């Protein structure tokens, strides 16, 4: 993990940051208040590229414009620190080994060396381009021109790639780029990229990281646009893609954006299958399935635009609570069964059922997510999808995914949420695969002695080694769990029950976060819910 990126006022200890000790007498430094372009630099990037911000305060005196202070700033110890950190620890320096002088790079016939003089503007905003530049030596500044004003927005060092998007889209350049120092760069032409990928597939992984870097929340908005959407921050990373929170520009509606990794998308079998099923996935409309709004294909990969969910992943909930009571678990499992039944009837197999792909919303409503690796029923010759602990054993032997492999994964999920652990040791994945092929799942009753028989039977049947002995479809699995929900209803609404009553329980505690209290209240609420009592929490403020 890279170290924290310092701003200039943190490094220089000048006291002119917002709230600093010298702001009353000298004012706030422009590098600390820079809100140029679209506000992305405010208090963040401005302090990383202070040498490009006019009017800063260094060496005990105010500084002039970028051009006037360039010579002094290029010799500044903070400038050198930024260049060293961004150049040497940046993963993109790996690109240097693919070109001459950077290692054993084999691509001499695909790249050309270019020298750029200090102060030269070598990329112009608004022009089209089909070349990208790998910096072998030197640094440059990215400057956006807006309404006649120049706004510094980014900085590039050794190993960085400048204007990589030209290789993907040929879109008009969104900024000027000027050399801060003398530079040596390797020039890659768009037509050469395909040959490069064939010669060295490792480049594909780096492409994913470069495109992902474009959508970093510190980048200018123009960099982070994907069709009608803007990426606003990263949510997480997985084996299949990188997930961002985003917003629909016109509607100001929050969305989730999943960028598929290039190593998948550049496989013709994956992309063909994905496109065959994309329309069906986007048309799915079920209360327990995340909505897919749109699919964008840009930068040589695929972006899946989905609804934004304000909830908690089931794996996080189980880790927090330890396990879930049987009736609560059954309620959640029935909702997943309903979602799978709907998807399976449309010919879609999820392939990656596990607790992290189940989001629990308010009132224990849930949404099944991550249909991005879904495939048609019976798809063969396709990479194994899903996390190994949940994969059905027949898939290890090359059998195609179908309804029953999704049901197996749901059975493992059910075992985990009622016992608080997964059924097989996982220290060695090769051994785990062997155990899953050879041994029946342990009886959950040994861990949870009071586990209701319908839920025990659901887990054991869903996880049968022989696919033919599992539930043939999610609808049949759902029927197995219904008695638990019916029993819950009968407990919550006994014959002759009168009007509902309300009782109050008051807790007094200090006005500060209490995670243990929140956990206990949630457990208490779940227990009450099993016997038909609803717990509501209302914060009462003291009278002033």
Closest CA to 372 of 502, 243, 544: 243
Burial 419-436 (b: 16+ CB within 10 A, else e): beebbbeeeeeeebbebb
- Go through the chain and tell me how many residues it has: 544
187 neighbors 111 (Cβ within 8 angstroms): yes
Number of H helices and E strands in the chain, helices first, is 18, 21
The β-bridge partners of 302 are 297
Residue 83 main-chain phi, psi, to 5 deg: -60, -40
CB-based contacts of 250, cutoff 8 Å, min separation 6 = 228
Is residue 310 exposed (0-12), middle (13-18) or buried (19+ Cβ within 10 Å)? exposed
Structure tokens at 452: 């209701």
Whether residue 91 contacts residue 209, with contact meaning beta carbons closer than 8 Å, is answered with yes
HSE-up (13 A, CA, CB side) for residue 534: 8
**Rounded distance between C-alpha atoms, residue 51 and residue 25, angstroms:** 23
CA distance 341 to 349: 10
Burial of 501 (0-12, 13-18, 19+ CB in 10 A): exposed
- Three-state DSSP class for 127? coil
How many whole angstroms separate alpha carbon 20 and alpha carbon 9? 9
Main-chain phi, psi angles of 56, to 5 degrees: -70, 170
Helix (H, G, I), strand (E, B) or coil at 367: strand
Among 34, 154, 352, 402, the active-site one is 352
Element (H, E) at 401: none
Contact 6, 32 (CB under 8 A): no
Task: Judge whether 345 counts as a catalytic residue.
Answer: no
Q: Which are the catalytic amino acids?
A: 352
């Amino acid at each position: 993990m890279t170290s924290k990126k310092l701003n200039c006022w943190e490094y220089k200890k000048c006291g002119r940051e917002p709230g600093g000790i010298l702001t009353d007498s000298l004012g706030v430094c422009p590098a600390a208040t820079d809100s140029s372009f679209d506000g992305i630099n405010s208090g963040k990037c401005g302090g990383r590229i202070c040498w490009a911000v006019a009017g800063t305060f260094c060496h005990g005196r105010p500084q002039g414009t970028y051009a006037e202070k360039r010579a002094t700033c290029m010799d500044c110890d903070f400038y050198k620190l930024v260049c060293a950190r961004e150049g040497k620890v940046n993963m993109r320096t790996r690109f240097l080994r693919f070109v001459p002088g950077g290692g054993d790079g084999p691509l001499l016939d695909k790249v050309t060396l270019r020298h750029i003089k200090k102060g030269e503007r070598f990329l112009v905003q608004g022009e089209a381009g089909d070349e990208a530049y790998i910096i072998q030596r030197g640094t440059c500044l990215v400057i956006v021109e807006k309404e006649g004003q120049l706004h510094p927005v980014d900085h590039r060092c050794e190993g960085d790639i400048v204007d990589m998007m030209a290789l993907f889209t040929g879109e008009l350049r969104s900024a000027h780029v000027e050399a801060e120092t003398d530079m040596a760069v390797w020039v890659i032409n768009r037509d050469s990229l395909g040959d490069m990928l064939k010669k060295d597939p490792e480049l594909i992984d780096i492409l994913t990281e470069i495109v992902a870097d474009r959508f970093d929340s510190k980048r200018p908005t123009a960099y982070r646009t994907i069709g009608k959407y803007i990426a606003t921050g990263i949510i997480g990373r997985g084996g299949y893609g990188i997930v961002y929170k985003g917003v629909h520009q016109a509607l100001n509606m929050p969305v989730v954006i999943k960028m598929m990794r290039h190593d998948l998308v550049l496989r013709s079998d994956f992309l063909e299958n994905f496109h065959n099923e994309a329309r069906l996935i986007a048309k799915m409309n079920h209360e327990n399935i995340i909505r897919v709004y749109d699919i964008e294909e840009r930068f040589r990969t695929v972006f899946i635009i989905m609804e934004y969910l304000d909830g908690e992943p089931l794996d996080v909930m189980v880790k927090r609570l330890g396990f879930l009571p049987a009736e609560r678990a059954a309620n959640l499992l029935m909702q997943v069964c309903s979602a799978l039944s709907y998807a399976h009837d449309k010919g879609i197999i999820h392939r990656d059922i596990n607790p992290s792909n189940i989001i629990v919303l308010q009132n224990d409503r849930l949404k099944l997510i991550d249909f991005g690796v879904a495939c048609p029923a019976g798809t063969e010759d396709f990479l194994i999808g899903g996390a190994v602990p949940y994969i059905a054993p027949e898939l290890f032997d090359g059998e195609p995914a179908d309804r029953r492999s999704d049901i197996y994964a749901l059975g493992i999920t059910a075992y985990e949420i009622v016992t608080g652990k997964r059924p097989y040791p996982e220290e060695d994945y090769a051994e785990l695969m062997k155990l899953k092929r050879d041994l029946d799942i342990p009886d959950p009753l040994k861990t949870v002695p009071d586990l209701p028989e319908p839920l025990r039977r659901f887990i054991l049947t869903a996880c049968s080694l022989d696919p033919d002995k599992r539930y043939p479809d999610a609808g049949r699995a759902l029927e197995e769990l219904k008695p638990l929900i019916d029993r819950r209803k009968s407990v919550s609404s006994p014959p002759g029950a009168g009007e509902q009553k309300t009782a109050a329980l008051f807790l007094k505690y200090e006005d500060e976060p209490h995670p243990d209290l929140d956990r206990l209240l949630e457990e208490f609420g779940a227990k009450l819910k099993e016997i038909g009592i609803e717990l509501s929490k209302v914060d009462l403020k003291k009278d002033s």
